[in-house]
Structure 1
């Protein structure tokens, strides 16, 4: 039996979690922004749970979910628009100059 039976060591070529996260962030920077926005909105709405007044809890939670999803979808849309700009408009103008 091995002494390190409970520990898993990634293969040599794989990055650890923080390096992988930083690499993915450099590739598409709007994903972490969308996740952070989603978490901030959800945390704020849960914080405001006490001051919801006469609104039912289920309605408040639905509004929280919709606001958080809107932030995430907005970040995805901005990323898609930036990618389209970079791939089609910017590249076409660079090719025309050559």
Structure 2
């Protein structure tokens, strides 16, 4: 067995941390991008919400943003489980 490489995360820059996180869990980054997209769309549509109250609009926006993140993470978990258990590409112990 190879000895594990010791890595001090306190020496890591923010850009290196995002790169490492995207390699470890790419669907988290997709979820965050979806969250930013939904929030940007909500900010764009805020002026044209019509007679809808602000609190109802923001509640619907929050549900859409959370749904986007949960969907991305669920797809990521499903993909990971399919690779590990159905396609047998996981590490053999």
TM-score bucket of the superposed structures, by smaller chain: 0.7 to 0.9
Q: d(CA) in 1 for partners of 2:42 and 2:53? A: 14
TM-score, normalized by length of structure 1?
0.77
Aligned counterpart, 1:29: 26
Q: CA deviation at 1:13?
A: 3.1
Aligned counterpart, 1:67: 64
Q: CA deviation at 1:86?
A: 1.1
Q: CA deviation at 1:21?
A: 1.2
What is the RMSD of the two structures over their aligned residues, measured on CA atoms? 1.7
Aligned counterpart, 2:8: 13
Q: What stretches of structure 1 of length at least 5 have no aligned partner? A: 1-11
Number of matched pairs: 82
Q: CA deviation at 1:20?
A: 1.7
- Superposed structure 1 runs of 4+ greater than 3 Å apart: none
Q: What stretches of structure 2 of length at least 5 have no aligned partner? A: 1-6
SS in 1 for 2:52: coil
Q: d(CA) in 1 for partners of 2:44 and 2:14? A: 30
**Whose radius of gyration is greater, 1 or 2?**
1
TM-score, normalized by length of structure 2?
0.80
Aligned counterpart, 1:47: 44
